Structure 1
Amino acid sequence: MHKFTMIILIGALCGIACRLYLLRTDYRQYPTYPHGVVIHIALGVIASGLGAMLVATLLKKDYTAVTFLALAAQQFRDVRNMERQMLTNVDALELVPRGATYIEGIAMAFEGRNYLVIGTAFFAALATHLFSFVGGVVVGLICIWLSHWLMAGKTLETMVNIREGSVHFQGPNLFVDNVLIYNTGLKDSQERILKNGLGFILEPKNANGTVSLGNLGQRQAILHDVSTILGVYRDSGEPSLVPLSKRDLNTGRLALFLLPMDKDPEKAQQIIKRVPVLENSYRKPLKAEVRPDRQL
């Protein structure tokens, strides 16, 4: 077997394995099955082939082939735009939408995974050249593990404490504990809210959590995930039955009002804990260097 054949084969297989490992159809049903899965697997094969071929071209000192990486980057940016546009169009038909911030995070993740596939294929192919096919497989497995770690991200339980709140009315005003949610004077709606509603209070652990919970996109992501898994007790044309979130302006706490079909407080709390912290909503004010002697 030609030496370059083994390098390309091991690198490409490790890259494809990485993409398959990162490709999961979860509770959000995204990517859709089978068509969305086929699209992303095909892009993963292309990305792994590019990463493996890059090592072979460098060994042959054909440096002009590196320019294909620029073309690949453009294609993967187009994938990100495609995902964003498709999810935005579908989001308009959701009873509880994802929101623009959540959609942007999903699109960014799919673009980033293709770059991780290129990196996995490249390092696996390089290790195959330097050591043997066994070394290439070992390095490929290490890269797959690193890819999973890089794409894992944070969840809400790392930055907030979550407890169940009391859903009650004071006249026409709906409260979760002492946080006003909205006003509804319809007796029928009030009865259904008291029967099916759940309330939770999210208390930030530090200033980073306070700022992140203030992001409307992050709050919408929480409502969407709970409504997707537990269902939502509403239909179109019922504005009085809408899950909402409101901040306590004095403390920075976030009150959640939910209307799940499956009214299970324990399940809902576990879902909220596992909601991803969106990259576009995460802030780190505690990292800021604020000095009183510094002039802006």
Structure 2
Amino acid sequence: MHDTTLIILIGTICGIACRLNLLRTDYRQYPTYPHGRIVHLALGVIASGLGAVLVATLLDKNYTAVTFLTLAAQQFRDVRNMERQMLTNVDSMELVPRGVTYIEGIAMAFEGRNYLVIANAFFSALATHFFTWIGGLIVGLIGLFIAHRFMSGRTLGSVVEIKKAKVHFQGPNLFVDDILIYNSGLKDSQEKLVKNGVGLILVPKNANATVTIGNLGQRQAILHDVSTILGVYHDSGEPSLVPLSKRDLNSGRLALFLLPLDRDPDKAIEIVRRVPLLENAYRRPLKGSVKPDRQL
């Protein structure tokens, strides 16, 4: 087989393998199966071919081919915009929406994964040129492992402690432990809320976590994930039956009032612990030149 053909073949195969490894449909049902996965797999094939062909063109001293990378970057930015628009449209039909911050994080992830595929294909093809096809496959496997590490970031459990809490009323006011959630004066609604509600308290481990869980986008992501996995005791036209989150302004703790169909607090705690820490919501005040003296 011609050297150039082998370089392109190994690089493309490694890139496609990387995209397949990063392409997962989980409880969020995204990307959708099968058509959403076909779209992203096709884009992965294009990205793989681009990374592999780039090595071949550079070896032939055709440096103008590098300009195709700018076109690819524009194409993948369009993919990000497409994902953002589609998810925003779908979100309006959700009983418990994802929220803008969660959607932006998903769109950013899909754009970034295409760049990981290009990088894997490029370095695999380059290794094939210098160390034969065996070296290319080894570099491809290493790249696969690195890409897998970048597939998912930190989770909420790394920055907060999660505790069960009592859902109760004091007069017309609904409380989760000592944190006020909202006012519900109807007796029928109060009975439903106490019967079906689950309360959790999130205690931040440091000032970074305090600011992060105060972000409305991060809080909406928590409510959405729990409602997606455990179901939600809610329907359209039921404004009193809505899962909510409220902060204790004095301590920075976050109270979650959930209405899951599966009323298992232990499951809810585990789900909240695994909620992704959104890149656009995570804040680091402790990295500032002027650091806060306490949790807030």
TM-score bin (small chain): over 0.9
2:92 alignment counterpart: 92
CA distance in 2, matches of 1:98, 1:271: 15
SS at match of 1:276: coil
Q: Which amino acid aligns with 1:125?
A: A
1:64 alignment counterpart: 64
Q: What's the offset of the Cα at 1:150? A: 1.7
CA distance in 2, matches of 1:131, 1:6: 12
Q: What's the offset of the Cα at 1:103? A: 0.2
SS at match of 1:257: strand
1:262 alignment counterpart: 262
User: Is it true that 1:278 corresponds to 2:278 in the alignment?
Assistant: yes
Q: What's the offset of the Cα at 1:187? A: 1.1
CA distance in 1, matches of 2:20, 2:161: 34
SS at match of 1:201: strand
User: Is it true that 1:223 corresponds to 2:223 in the alignment?
Assistant: yes
Q: Which moved more, 1:282-291 or 1:17-26?
A: 282-291
1:43 alignment counterpart: 43
CA distance in 1, matches of 2:290, 2:212: 19
Q: Which amino acid aligns with 1:287?
A: K
SS at match of 1:131: helix
CA distance in 1, matches of 2:81, 2:170: 46
SS at match of 2:98: coil
Q: Which amino acid aligns with 2:236?
A: S
Q: What's the offset of the Cα at 1:188? A: 1.1
CA distance in 2, matches of 1:207, 1:48: 42
SS at match of 2:65: helix
CA distance in 2, matches of 1:266, 1:290: 38
Residue pairs, 1:5-84, within 5 angstroms: 5-84=5-84
User: Is it true that 1:105 corresponds to 2:113 in the alignment?
Assistant: no
Q: What's the offset of the Cα at 1:290? A: 2.1
Percent identity, aligned pairs only?
A: 76
Q: Which amino acid aligns with 1:262?
A: D
Q: Which amino acid aligns with 2:224?
A: H
Q: What's the offset of the Cα at 1:7? A: 0.5
Q: What whole-Å deviation, never above 9, does each CA across 1:238-275 have from its counterpart, x for those lacking one?
A: 01000000000000000000000011111110000000
Residue pairs, 1:126-165, within 5 angstroms: 126-165=126-165
2:294 alignment counterpart: none
TM-score, normalising length from structure 2? 0.97
1:166 alignment counterpart: 166
SS at match of 1:95: coil
Q: What's the offset of the Cα at 1:151? A: 2.3
Q: Which amino acid aligns with 1:38?
A: I
State the 4+ residue runs in structure 1 displaced beyond 2 angstroms.
none
Give me the CA root mean square deviation: 0.7
SS at match of 1:132: helix
Which sections of structure 1, spanning at least 5 residues, go unmatched? 292-296
2:182 alignment counterpart: 182
CA distance in 2, matches of 1:14, 1:134: 12
Q: What's the offset of the Cα at 1:132? A: 1.2
TM-score, normalising length from structure 1? 0.97
Which sections of structure 2, spanning at least 5 residues, go unmatched? 292-296
SS at match of 2:144: helix
CA distance in 1, matches of 2:86, 2:249: 36
Q: How many residues align?
A: 291
CA distance in 2, matches of 1:63, 1:14: 23
User: Is it true that 1:249 corresponds to 2:249 in the alignment?
Assistant: yes
Q: What's the offset of the Cα at 1:168? A: 0.2
CA distance in 1, matches of 2:250, 2:288: 23
Q: What whole-Å deviation, never above 9, does each CA across 1:136-157 have from its counterpart, x for those lacking one?
A: 1110011111011122200001
CA distance in 2, matches of 1:252, 1:241: 25
